[in-house]
């Protein structure tokens, strides 16, 4: 029997890419590939790329350049580019970097086994279609191999919202939801393999319509799966937070009290220019309703500073919104021009203005994050333990609020939800003591 071929996948960007990389590895597993953690002993290297902000494509080209030596040493080594840069650049990748054998977009990776056949004959393979066939129908059941306690599960892909700054509608295509029965089957397969917490993924996950009662309907069905203890979902759009989903945050015990709800800006003028179709005030009223349903919910968000035309006053509105909402955690970015998007045509703000605003916003968000972490000290949280911590005898996991918590505990706590008293906070984690 010949030795298995080795596959090295490097994943950039969002959680959806993490999920896609797992599925690509499983698809190629059917062709005899096993994953390796090092490119040096790989027979195939796949870069699963992200295109959300500037220089993404340049980073991919420079990473590819680094494989020149490896390919020279090992001419049979196959190199592929997947993900959103593959979708956006297509054939250009092979033109600029001839060592690339394969380019596959996010909607076509179920065709990887056939593409592998082609490249093994020395041909090049390119597939950046938005195919009619559903990739999830072609992909096999999830691997039965034992896995860690947490997993991602993509339920919805693409976006029809066309925010003026964003490439997602172009790289991931139109909004599509997977049917609920397939998702439930996949969730059961994950639970059978040891998963206790599932994070449902979608570019606009709360616009999910594969169940007649939307995402809340799907969550209530997942709630019935024995052995599944926690459900999360990300990323949501404020306009798709319907009443049933808000209510589920108050009544579904498995749905964790954490919500990532990007707003991007606190200025109505900028929100309009961004084509967000909500206002700062409608967002704040929505947050009030969510907090009424689940008072302890930890809120997270996304912000863009320096969108074309943003004035000091607009930026102050963003700072005020952050003060009004109080986030437990958040992501903030400098606006980055994305070719082909409407905002790319507009005059850009000077770099130093953007840098200054980003620093001020991040300082405020950091302050709120620290205050939220500090407020956990003395409280009892429930931790799903995932793996050993940095020190001997320590285990680490996540609280219901998605805080990383470490505690002295025996190895068998991995996969269990245990009560922990928080005794100390630090910038990125909490220290706890096992209660029982």
Binding segment for ligand SAM (CB under 6 A), chosen from 91-99, 161-169, 216-224, 371-379, is 161-169
The residues pairing with 258 across neighbouring beta strands, listed in sequence order, are: 298
Binding segment for ligand SF4 (CB under 6 A), chosen from 159-167, 308-316, 357-365, 379-387, is 159-167
- Specify the DSSP element, H or E, that contains 334: strand 329-334
Please list the alpha-helical segments (H only) found in 30-164. Answer: 56-65, 68-73, 83-89, 92-96, 112-120, 135-138
333's contact among ligand SAM, ligand SF4, none, with CB below 5 to 8 A by partner kind, is: ligand SAM
163 lies in the binding site for ligand SF4 (CB under 6 A): yes
Phi, psi of 318 (to 5 degrees): -65, -45
Whole-angstrom Cα distance, residue 301 to residue 258?
11
Between 188 and 204, CB nearer to ligand SF4: 204
- Residues in contact with ligand SF4, total (CB under 6 A)? 10
Find the binding residues for ligand SAM in span 122-151 (CB under 6 A): none
In the complex, the smallest distance separating the C-beta of residue 330 from ligand SAM, rounded to whole angstroms, is 10
265's contact among ligand SAM, ligand SF4, none, with CB below 5 to 8 A by partner kind, is: none
243 lies in the binding site for ligand SF4 (CB under 6 A): no
Between 166 and 430, CB nearer to ligand SAM: 166
Binding segment for ligand SF4 (CB under 6 A), chosen from 39-47, 156-164, 251-259, 370-378, is 156-164
Whole-angstrom Cα distance, residue 88 to residue 255?
35
What distances in angstroms separate CA 376 from CA 205, 258, 292, 296, 398, one per listed residue?
29, 14, 20, 11, 13
First-to-last alpha carbon distance for the chain, in angstroms, is: 50
**Both tokens of residue 319?**
């700072």
Q: What is the DSSP letter of 3?
A: P
Of 84, 125, 166, 376, the one binding ligand SAM by CB under 6 A: 166
Whole-angstrom Cα distance, residue 124 to residue 55?
25
Between 152 and 406, CB nearer to ligand SF4: 152
Q: Are 407 and 399 in contact (CB under 8 A)?
A: no
| Peptide linkage before 62 cis (omega within 30 of 0) | no
How many other CB atoms sit within 10 Å of the CB of residue 154? Answer: 21
168 lies in the binding site for ligand SF4 (CB under 6 A): yes
237 lies in the binding site for ligand SF4 (CB under 6 A): yes
In the complex, the smallest distance separating the C-beta of residue 261 from ligand SAM, rounded to whole angstroms, is 8
Of 154, 204, 206, 267, the one binding ligand SF4 by CB under 6 A: 204
Between 103 and 304, CB nearer to ligand SF4: 304
Phi, psi of 324 (to 5 degrees): -70, -40
300 lies in the binding site for ligand SF4 (CB under 6 A): no
Q: 432 by DSSP, 3-state: which?
A: strand
Instruction: Name, in order, each residue with C-beta under 8 angstroms of 371's C-beta and a sequence gap of 6 or more.
Output: 326
Of 128, 150, 203, 318, the one binding ligand SAM by CB under 6 A: 203
Between 173 and 389, CB nearer to ligand SF4: 173
Whole-angstrom Cα distance, residue 182 to residue 185?
5
162's contact among ligand SAM, ligand SF4, none, with CB below 5 to 8 A by partner kind, is: ligand SF4
261 lies in the binding site for ligand SF4 (CB under 6 A): no
Binding site for ligand SF4 (CB under 6 A): 159, 161-163, 166, 168-169, 203-204, 237
Binding site for ligand SAM (CB under 6 A): 14, 52-53, 165-166, 168, 203-204, 235, 237, 262, 264, 302, 304, 333, 335-336, 338
């Amino acid at each position: 029997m010949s030795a298995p071929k080795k596959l090295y996948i490097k994943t950039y960007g969002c959680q959806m890419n993490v999920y896609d990389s797992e599925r690509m590895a499983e698809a190629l597993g059917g062709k005899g590939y096993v994953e390796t953690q090092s490119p040096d002993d790989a027979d195939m290297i796949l870069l699963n790329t992200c295109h959300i902000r500037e220089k993404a494509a340049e980073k991919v080209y420079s990473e590819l350049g680094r494989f020149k030596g490896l390919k020279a040493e090992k001419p049979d080594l196959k190199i592929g580019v997947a993900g959103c840069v593959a979708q956006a650049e297509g054939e250009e990748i092979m033109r600029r970097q001839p060592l690339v054998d394969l380019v596959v977009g996010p909607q076509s990776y179920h065709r990887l086994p056939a593409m592998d056949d082609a490249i093994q004959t020395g041909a090049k393979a390119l597939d950046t279609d938005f195919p009619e066939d559903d990739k999830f129908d072609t992909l096999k059941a999830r691997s039965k191999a034992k896995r860690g306690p947490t997993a991602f599960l993509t339920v919805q892909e693409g976006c029809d919202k066309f925010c003026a700054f964003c490439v997602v509608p172009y790289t991931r295509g139109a909004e599509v939801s997977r049917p609920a029965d397939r998702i439930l089957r996949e969730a059961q397969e994950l639970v059978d393999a040891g998963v206790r917490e599932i994070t449902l993924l979608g570019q606009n996950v709360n616009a999910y319509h594969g169940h007649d009662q939307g995402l809340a309907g799907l969550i209530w069905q997942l709630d019935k799966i024995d052995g599944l203890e926690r459900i999360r979902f990300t990323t949501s759009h404020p306009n798709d937070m319907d009443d049933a989903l808000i209510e589920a945050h108050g009544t579904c015990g498995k749905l964790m009290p954490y919500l990532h709800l990007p707003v991007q800006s606190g200025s109505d003028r900028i929100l309009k220019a961004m084509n967000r179709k909500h206002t700062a005030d409608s967002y704040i009223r929505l947050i009030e309703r969510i907090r009424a349903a689940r008072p302890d919910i930890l809120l997270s968000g996304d912000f863009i500073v320096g969108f074309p035309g943003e004035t000091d006053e607009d930026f102050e509105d963003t700072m005020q919104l952050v003060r009004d909402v109080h986030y437990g955690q958040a992501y903030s970015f400098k606006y980055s021009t994305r070719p082909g998007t409407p905002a790319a045509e507009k005059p850009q703000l000077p770099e130093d203005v953007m840098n200054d605003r980003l620093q001020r916003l991040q300082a405020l968000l950091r302050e709120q994050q620290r205050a939220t972490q500090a407020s956990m000290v003395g409280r009892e949280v429930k931790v799903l333990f995932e793996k050993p911590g940095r020190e001997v005898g320590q285990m680490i996991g996540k609280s219901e609020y998605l805080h990383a918590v470490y505690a002295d505990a025996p190895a068998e706590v991995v996969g269990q939800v245990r009560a922990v008293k928080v005794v100390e906070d630090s910038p990125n984690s909490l220290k706890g003591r096992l209660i029982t």
